[in-house]
Amino acid sequence: MFTPPNMPLVIGLTGGIGSGKSAASACFAALGVTVVDADIVAREVVEPNSSALISIAEHFGPDILHPDSSLDRARLRHIIFANPTEKAWLEALLHPLINQRLRQQLNSARSAYVIFVSPLLLETSQHELTSRILVVDCPPEAQINRAAIRDKIEPGQIEAIMATQINRSERLKLADDILHNHGNLQELELQVAKLHQQYLALTAPQ
């Protein structure tokens, strides 16, 4: 098992949109495990007045901002998931900033192991920061239903996002561990509790 230098054991948690990454992370956090979340960091780097947000407004025009100068995320979502060139432009701007903050957070984590949750762990170099890949999986119909209800966006938008993510079978092939999230949240919690014991055993001195 590979543990990057100066880092605790990092478990990379990934899955498609709406698969249950945040729900699974919340279960790990409730067990006292530090969670580093790429989606949270991705929001921090585009806070009002940040250099990244200024670049985004220059590139896409001032309409990409709300009147209070915050990012109009729904507008940007419609643009980038319909246009691969614009998606690549946005990622080239944001991913280095996101990765720099993620490294800092992973390095300063102090729990026995860390859960690093990211939707793009397997699609980007972020998996290089991890020692083990944990995939949360559920049928695509459940992903679409859950994400549509949570975000109040049309299923077509969710399918457009899914089409830009690694497909389900490829993702599962790359998994060391799998959380099967087709049941209820209690069933997910039970699977997390089992894995927690396994991960603690991996960090115990031999």
CA dist 178 and 37 (Å) reads: 19
Count the residues of the shown chain that bind ligand COD, applying the rule CB under 6 A.
19
Interface with ligand COD (CB under 6 A), residue from 8, 34, 119, 122: 119
Q: Does 90 bind ligand COD (CB under 6 A)?
A: yes
> How many residues are given for the chain?
206
**Contact indicator for 163, 179 with CB cutoff of 8 Å:** no
Q: What is the spatial distance between Cα 46 and Cα 9, in angstroms, rounded to a whole number?
A: 29
Which listed residue (11, 21, 116, 135) binds ligand ATP by CB under 6 A? 21
Among 109, 114, 144, 188, binds ligand ATP (CB under 6 A): 188
Q: Is position 119 an interface residue for ligand ATP (rule: CB under 6 A)?
A: yes
User: Distance between CA 180 and CA 76 in Å, rounded?
Assistant: 31
d(CA 80, CA 87): 5
Give the number of other Cβ atoms within 10 Å of residue 124's Cβ. Answer: 15
Here's the x/- map for ligand COD, 10-49, by CB under 6 A: it reads as -------x--------------------xx--x-------
- Of the candidate residues 23, 114, 117, 120, the single one contacting ligand COD (CB under 6 A): 120
Whole-number Å distance between alpha carbons of 191 and 13: 14
**Cα–Cα distance, 94 to 86 (Å, whole number):** 12
Binding site feature residues for ATP: 18-23
Residues of this chain that bind ligand COD (CB under 6 A): 17, 38-39, 42, 73-74, 76-77, 80, 90-91, 94, 98, 118-120, 161, 164-165
Residues of this chain that bind ligand ATP (CB under 6 A): 15, 17-23, 39, 119, 146-147, 150, 181, 183-185, 188
